[in-house]
Amino acid sequence: MDRSIFKAYDIRGTYPDQLDEEAAYRIGLAFATSGLISGDPVVVGRDMRKSSDALFSALARGLTDGGKNVVDIGRVTTPMLYFAVNVLNGAGGVMITASHNPARYNGFKLVREQGIPISATTGLAEIENRALECAAPTGKKGSVRQESVEDRYVEFFRQRFSISRDRKTIIDTGNGMVGAILPRVLATQDIPYNGLFFTPDGDFPNHEANPLKEENLEDLRREVRANPGSVGAAFDGDGDRVAFIDEDGNLVRGDLLTALIASHLLDTRGPGTIIYDLRSSRVVPEIIEAHGGRPIKTRVGHSFIKALMRKEKALFAGELSFH
């Protein structure tokens, strides 16, 4: 088993040379027996990558050999996995994805109850050690059942948002998982849009689902310029990252998006705490303060930012990397 697949915030490597079914089984068993999660079930989702189904089967076998019951929510985005852990009262969760990485990669994002991330400093290192040692099965066998959260996820957006706009948005989901759920979400709103590459395909036949790379935005820019007055949005493979381009095809910086969204929320919901990462422009805290907010600068990494959000009861947080 290749130790290099264990990163600071997740588990990730190329399939099958670095990350294969044996590694997935060991990781599932290690997670189930680690003591990091108490009770049942463990909610597991996966993306559309070609290796995701095989890795799911092996991971689920490890989790159930470790005594945990598993709820299989099928192919979903990473935000849907976090949502499912909460609505299904999960003791923990695993998202099988390599996020914005190329097709040959896959991996796991692990969370505790309420979708609390597990990083190297909060339990991932322990899972790594247990997986390398190959923890023993508990003797108590868990089960696997399937349950969809798609309808509840769409209803969540319908109840909380009412958006009406005239300007068209061009949306590129890069053949990632967002394309499977976004039409249903947008159907609850009054948002005209054109969709690019909405069909999930783990081979990423048009371009990588990584909006951090300029070359992956060229199709979106072309479509925006062909529709004067429109703006563009590009998602990554698992849907937890989105970048925007303006009507001229210019990429809007992630830290400026944080300031823009924060200013809207502060204006509509009142004073609150906004968290931004340390790489952001100095204009970000200035804008937050100008709109009555309390800016807090934090280190990079979603697990650290989410922990700080809980501690400070933050209204919103954003990263330069479009998270």
Mean pLDDT value of segment 269-276: 96
pLDDT over 90 percentage in the chain: 94
CB 277 within 8 A of CB 305: yes
Given the structure tokens 């009861």, which residue do they identify? 313
Q: 3-148 and 255-318 share one CATH topology?
A: yes
CB 130 within 8 A of CB 116: no
Q: Which CATH number is 161-252 given?
A: 3.40.120.10
pLDDT of residue 160: 92
- How many Cα atoms are found within 13 Å in the side-chain-facing hemisphere of 190? 5
255-318: CATH homologous superfamily? Alpha-D-Glucose-1,6-Bisphosphate, subunit A, domain 3 (3.40.120.10)
What's the rounded Cα separation, in Å, for the pair 24 and 279? 34
Handedness of CA 15, 21, 23, 25 (dihedral sign): positive
CB 87 within 8 A of CB 154: no
pLDDT of residue 188: 96
Judge whether residue 134 has pLDDT over 90: no
The answer for residues whose C-beta is within 8 angstroms of residue 294's C-beta and 6 or more apart is 271, 272, 273, 274, 288
Identify the three-state secondary structure at position 94: strand
pLDDT of residue 155: 98
pLDDT tens-digit profile of 179-229?
999 999 999 999 999 999 999 999 999 999 999 999 999 999 999 999 999
Which one is catalytic: 52, 99, 230, 321? 99
pLDDT band (50, 70, 90) for residue 302:
confident
pLDDT tens-digit profile of 102-120?
999 999 999 999 999 999 9
99 is catalytic: yes
pLDDT over 70 percentage in the chain: 100
Domain boundaries, the chain: 3-148, 161-252, 255-318
pLDDT of residue 138: 81
pLDDT band (50, 70, 90) for residue 304:
confident
Judge whether residue 135 has pLDDT over 80: no
Given the structure tokens 């066998």, which residue do they identify? 141
Pick the CATH number of 3-148 from 3.40.120.10, 1.10.3720.10, 3.30.70.20, 3.30.110.40: 3.40.120.10
Judge whether residue 319 has pLDDT over 90: yes
pLDDT of residue 203: 98
Judge whether residue 99 has pLDDT over 80: yes
Judge whether residue 253 has pLDDT over 90: yes
